[in-house]
Amino acid sequence: MGGVMLDRRHVVRELLQDREDAVVVTGLGSPTYDVAAVSPSERNYYLWGAMGGAAMMGFGLALAKPDLHVIVVTGDGEALMGMGALATIGAVKPANLAILVLDNEHYGETGMQQSHLGLGVDLCAVALACGLTQACRVTTEAELQSAARNFHQTGAPKFVQVKVDPEAPPRVMPTRDAVENKITFRRALGIS
C-alpha cells in the first residue's frame, strides 16, 4: 500500500467530531477505548462483550429512532464474527445507520493474531454485495476526509472500512457496568 497508515484515534476523531446528537454503539475491544478516548458522551453504548453484535445493536436502535443518526464503531474481528448482519441490514437499508470498521487486520485484544482481512478477504465487497451500496474502503488521509464529508448524511446506510495502523494507543476505559450505561443512554434520549 505504501505511505503512512492511518492512526485509529485520528480516524475516529475525524468521523465523530461532527456527530452532534448522533448515538454511537461500540464493538468490544479497541473501538470501545477509541470512542471513549475521543468522543465520550452519554449517547454512547459501549460493548465489552457480545462479539459480533455491534452492527445489529445499532440496527435495532436505528429502527427505534429513525430521526437519530446511529453510528456503529467496531473492529474487523468483531465485524467478521457478525458478518451475516450485513445481509440482514442490507435487506432493510436503514437510512440513519452508519457502520465504521476500524480494520487493523488483527485481533488486538487477544494478542494481535492476523484476521481474515489481512488474508485476502474483502469486507467492503461483502457489504456492497449485501446491498450497502455506499460502502467504501479508506486507506489514505484524503480518502478519510472524503468519507467524513458524507458520513453524517442520512438517506442510505453507510459502511466505511478504514485500514488503520495496528499500533494500539493507550487504553481509555469507559464504564463496564452495562446496566448503568443503558440507563444513562436512555435518559440522555429522554426515555424513562
Partner 1 sequence: MNVIDWQQAVYDVIKSSGISLVGYVPDAGHATLINCARDDKEIHDVVMTTEEEGIPLCAGAWLGGMRSILLMQSSGVGNCVNMLSLQRTARFPMVIIVTMRGEYAEFNPWQIPMGSTTQAVLELCNFKVERVDDETSAAETVQAAIDFAYNSNVGVAVLLSQKMLGRKKWVE
Q: Which stretch binds partner 1 (CB under 8 A): 10-18, 63-71, 148-156, 165-173?
A: 63-71
Contacting partner 1 (CB under 8 A), which of 84, 153, 167, 171? 84
* 10 contacts: CB under 8 Å, gap ≥ 6: none
Which residue is listed with cell 457480545?
A: 50
| Burial (0-12, 13-18, 19+ Cβ within 10 Å), 83 | middle
Contacting partner 1 (CB under 8 A), which of 29, 36, 37, 45? 45
User: Does residue number 166 form part of the binding site for partner 1 (CB under 8 A)?
Assistant: no
Q: How far apart are CA 34 and CA 130, in angstroms?
A: 27
E strand intervals along 82-183: 97-103, 106-107, 113-114, 136-138, 158-163
User: Does residue number 110 form part of the binding site for partner 1 (CB under 8 A)?
Assistant: no
Contacting partner 1 (CB under 8 A), which of 6, 51, 100, 127? 51
Which residues are near partner 1 by CB under 8 A? 23, 25, 45, 47, 49-54, 56-65, 68, 82, 84-85, 87-88, 91-92, 178-179, 181-182, 185-186, 189, 191
